[in-house]
Structure 1
Amino acid sequence: MEKDEKVDSPTNSQKTISDDDEIDYSIKPEFYDPELDDKDEEWVQNKRKGRISDAVLSCPACFTTLCLECQRHEKYLTQYRAIFVLNCKIENDQVRQAREKPKRGKRKRVSSESETAVTDGEMFKPVCCSVCSTEVGVIDEDEVYHFFNVLPSES
């Protein structure tokens, strides 16, 4: 840039107009539907078929709805379980095994018993958001989804 060239600074520029000044509120917005919330509520109620849910679960990365009907865990308040889900994919190639914790106060003398406790653990498969592939939970052998990485909202 040459020395003689003058750059317009914000103070020398034309008068700045805010976005609110450019919007004509006398015209009804093209994409606004004042009854949309009621329509959405009716759609959700039809999907639930009258059943009550503790929350609506969404993906923490892309906010995609994952579940409309779930039950909150009694002990772990940030975890939920569900049977009917949306926008979820199961990673069938990955299997995890839950280990059973040994009972407190009871020591087992035979090592083969503790080995069977580990091999008898329940099998889980990871569940991911079908939109962004973020892992949001697992599914157990009974086909119950256990969500632990989700955003809950009031239903």
Structure 2
Amino acid sequence: MASPINSQKTVSDDEEIDYSIKPEFYDSDLDDKDELWIVKKRDGRTSDAVLSCPACFTTVCLECQRHEQYVTQYRAVFVVNCKEDKDKVLQHNAISPNLGKRMRDSEKIETGSADNERVNVVLCSACSTEIGVVDSQEIYHFFNVIPSEP
């Protein structure tokens, strides 16, 4: 094999980077700006977590309340990046603690009575992953999400 021409003059990428110039896509104040944005969005209200889709990590809720007994479930009124599946209506006597078990077939729609509450499936608007349900009072119940510190 032939050796490279002028191998003594070969320069690595690191040697070509001028570290004295601030990188174009770097903002040292970005964390502070993000925190101000979220405080403004919440309008002074607190949240137990920020919820993300488990498949694509898209943020789906900035302000939610953790379930008292089932710590992997959350409820919220204000959501982002969510869509309702109007074609998939479920019926429950109440929002069941078994929702976190991925809506087992025994819970899916059957011949319902008047005391059953209808809920629609909620999907991530970015990737259509099923992340929860929304009830008739427009309260979102999340059970398939990734929580992070608010």
TM over 0.5: yes
Cα distance in structure 2, aligned partners of 1:47 and 1:59: 20
Q: Which of 38, 49, 54 is the aligned partner of 1:60? A: 54
1:47 and 2:41 are equivalent in the alignment: yes
**Residue of structure 2 equivalent to 1:121:** 116
User: What is the aligned residue count?
Assistant: 129
Over the residues paired in the alignment, what is the CA RMSD in angstroms? 2.4
Query: Structure 1 residues 82-91 or 22-31, which shifts more?
Result: 22-31
Corresponding position of 2:108: none
> How far, CA to CA, are the matches of 1:32 and 1:23 in structure 2?
15
Identify the residue that residue 97 of structure 1 maps to in structure 2.
91
3-state secondary structure, aligned to 1:125: strand
Q: Cα offset for 1:75?
A: 0.7
Tell me the percent identity.
Answer: 65
Report the CA distance shift for 1:21/1:151 in structure 2 as closer, same or farther (over 3 A): farther
Q: How many angstroms does 1:20 deviate by?
A: 5.4
Per the TM alignment, residue 44 of structure 1 is displaced from its structure 2 partner at its CA by 0.6
Give the equivalent residue in structure 2 for 1:106: none
- Cα 1:86–1:19 change in 2 (3 A) is farther
Match of 1:103 in 2: none
Unaligned runs of 5+ in 2: 95-111
User: In the alignment, is residue 139 of structure 1 matched against residue 134 of structure 2?
Assistant: yes
**Residues 123 and 20 from structure 1, CA distance in 2 versus in 1: closer, same or farther, beyond 3 angstroms?**
farther
Equivalent residue, structure 2, for 1:148:
143
The Cα of 1:24 is off from its aligned counterpart by 3.6
Per-residue deviation, 1:21: 5.7
What SS does the aligned partner of 2:83 have? strand
Amino acid at match of 1:37: D
Deviation per CA, 1:108-142, whole angstroms, max 9, x where unpaired?
xxxxxxxxxx6222111000000110111000111
| Alignment TM-score, normalising by the size of structure 2 | 0.76
Shift of 1:79: 0.4
Deviation at 1:93, TM superposition (A): 1.2
Higher strand share: 2
Which sections of structure 1, spanning at least 5 residues, go unmatched?
A: 1-5, 101-117
Q: Does 1:73 align with 2:67?
A: yes
Give the Cα separation in 1 of the matches to 2:71 and 2:128.
24
TM-score (norm 1): 0.74
